[in-house]
Amino acid sequence: MPYRFTLSTSMPAAPETIYDCWLDSAGHSAMTGGAATASDRIGGAFTAWDGYISGRNLALERGRRIVQSWRTTRFSAADPDSIVTLTLAPVAGGAALTLEHADVPDGDAHKGYENGGWADHYFAPMRAYFAGRAAR
């Protein structure tokens, strides 16, 4: 049975900066450390982490919200795409980031997304990247 979870964190960058980087090939690659192709158009395809992740943009609100279909190479052919919703809001010193990941296939192979995957492979490198940009 698919499941959903929500994670929240803060980033030392404006919501618009995070939004723009997420939807830009060079920016997404730089902020995560994994090769990415990105699109800033609804319906546009993307890949991340050297092709491990793929999907399409479903809804975009500049500087506020990104909704994407999302799957990894660990999904079986029978698994439908999951849905990632990234919500951004301004706070002192940067942005509040809330990530909801829905329709995640059940099973041990996918539990890591909630239990450290997003934090280790997205939030930590993003925080370091944006902190480094702010220090310049």
Please state, in angstroms and rounded to a whole number, the distance separating the CA atoms of residues 112 and 91.
28
Question: What pLDDT shows up at residue 3?
Answer: 86
The per-residue pLDDT for 66 is 98
- Predicted confidence at residue 117, as pLDDT, reads 83
Both tokens of 56, joined, read 């399409």
pLDDT of residue 136: 59
CA–CA separation, 96 and 132 (whole Å)? 18
How many whole angstroms separate alpha carbon 129 and alpha carbon 22?
A: 12
pLDDT at 127: 96
Domain ranges in the chain are 3-135
One-letter amino acid at 114 equals E
Can you give the pLDDT at residue 126?
96
Per-10-residue mean pLDDT for the chain, 136 residues long?
91 98 97 96 97 97 98 92 97 97 80 81 95 73
Fold of 3-135: Alpha-D-Glucose-1,6-Bisphosphate; Chain A, domain 4 (3.30.530)
pLDDT of residue 89: 98
Q: Does the predicted TM-score (pTM) go above 0.85? A: yes
- Looking at residue 134, its pLDDT comes to 66
Both tokens of 99, joined, read 């990530």
